Structure 1
């Protein structure tokens, strides 16, 4: 959230006092209303009974679903903040998007909403006082990289906000102040959805169905561009087998000849032609060759 101007701080203090919420809770809801383009908010704060959702026109959901008194207070707070945001330059974007959300334990169904620019509401009593301190010269007040300029649509769900740039084929996602920009390739994005509660994975619908954002190539992260990593060099081919010629090699035929010779010597010994000593000596000589 950008820094409030002195006039903006006075306005927020007054709103918080009127609706009986702390300044911290009111600032949290202001951020949610801004992320919802002034006509909706998805919030999560203890003073609002945890996570919840508000839409202009009367739909208010809180985790304490039977607490109608809290719902009325939240609706009044969001309505006043929505009127405030509508009078602030550059806080409300033109364009549209569809969102689908599921709260944690709140039983929220799917929500589809279209956002468009809103003119000043003369009945809200705020005038045109600047709510935030102007950005430093040479910088922009947007949370996405400046070269992307104007998104076709913006939105937020459960603390995650996104901006879609169809012409540039880029999708910017902000999670806790960490901005990542994805290449949307040839997807024609028509809506976003987030799985269960804060931090759940974000998906989008395109002509190819429901796609996980994490499957897109990352082109910008950690404050700078992400360059494609070169493909790793292929592993060198294994060297051809080289037999070890240092050890003596014996042909199977030569070994068979030695055993055949020993058998003939054994016959000579049996016939009494060779003595036992002569047979043993000759046999040892032959076996030493194997």
Structure 2
């Protein structure tokens, strides 16, 4: 974890005091925002409502989904910390000098240098991702291994990481939600036809055993309740339930 400058730590502590959270909670958000280029963050902390996501422009989701007061506090905290990252003074202390990996950008970047700067990036636990729309590439690092995927003509608007039976990476775009395994790995084999986008409407489940989801038409909250019942019955996996819930919460 990167160290803060003395001035940066004082500013973080002041922002935490103003927003009524602990310094530790503010630091969790600061590092998540730094991973997301100051424009987005994926975080997990009990003071922040558990697992959550934030992106510039007003998108905010937290585990305590009906606590609107906490949502507003987390949003204000993210805005203040993002402003700190983009401020005139350095927040993080200079990294110790070292040699970048061959074929990768320096400055702490872990993806191949030829991809340039990502439009979005983030990290959680042992998994990190970076999205490059101009190159139509998605870079994923897990357990020290970097893999590059072709996003084809998908227009990615959000990325989510879900826990449960192993981490699952999915993204949302103009065609709904697509799982990482549905993308072709550059230099690897084509994705399995079964690894398709999560259906937006009802219908028979594919032979792979992926369950069909409730048909849209009700409110997002009602659809989440239906999904929760399918999850309770074992029809949906934890990853499938959490991914679809995240998408529906984005409609609120």
Q: Is the 8 A contact 1:170 1:181 kept in 2?
A: no
| Residue matched to 1:190 | 155
Please list, as runs of the form range in 1=range in 2, the aligned pairs for 1:161-240 lying within 5 A after superposition. Answer: 161-165=128-132, 171-175=138-142, 178-184=143-149, 187-188=152-153, 190-191=155-156, 193-194=159-160, 196-197=162-163, 199-203=166-170, 210=178, 212-213=180-181, 217=185
Q: Is the 8 A contact 1:169 1:183 kept in 2?
A: no
Between the aligned partners of 1:7 and 1:157, the Cα distance in structure 2 is: 25
Please list, as runs of the form range in 1=range in 2, the aligned pairs for 1:138-149 lying within 5 A after superposition. Answer: 138-139=99-100, 140-145=106-111, 147-148=113-114
Give unpaired runs (5+ residues) of structure 1: 88-127, 220-290
CA RMSD of aligned residues (A): 3.7
**Does residue 136 of structure 1 match 2:122?**
no
Q: Is the 8 A contact 1:172 1:179 kept in 2?
A: no
| Residue matched to 2:122 | 156
CA positional deviation for 1:61 = 2.7
What's the CA shift string for 1:31-63, capped at 9, x where partnerless?
222233323323211111211233334443322
Between the aligned partners of 1:25 and 1:188, the Cα distance in structure 2 is: 38
Question: Residue 60 of structure 2 aligns to a residue in which SS?
Answer: strand
Q: How many residues align?
A: 178
Between the aligned partners of 2:133 and 2:65, the Cα distance in structure 1 is: 38
Q: Is the 8 A contact 1:151 1:165 kept in 2?
A: yes
| Residue matched to 1:2 | 2
Larger gyration radius, structure 1 or structure 2: 1
What's the CA shift string for 1:144-184, capped at 9, x where partnerless?
15644623433237664312457878643245xx3432243
Q: Is the 8 A contact 2:25 2:47 kept in 1?
A: yes
| Residue matched to 1:76 | 76
Question: CA distance change for structure 1 residues 81 and 186 in 2, over 3 Å: closer, same or farther?
Answer: closer
Question: Residue 144 of structure 1 aligns to a residue in which SS?
Answer: coil
Q: RCO greater where, 1 or 2, for CA within 8 Å and sep 6 or more?
A: 1
TM-score by length of structure 1 reads: 0.49
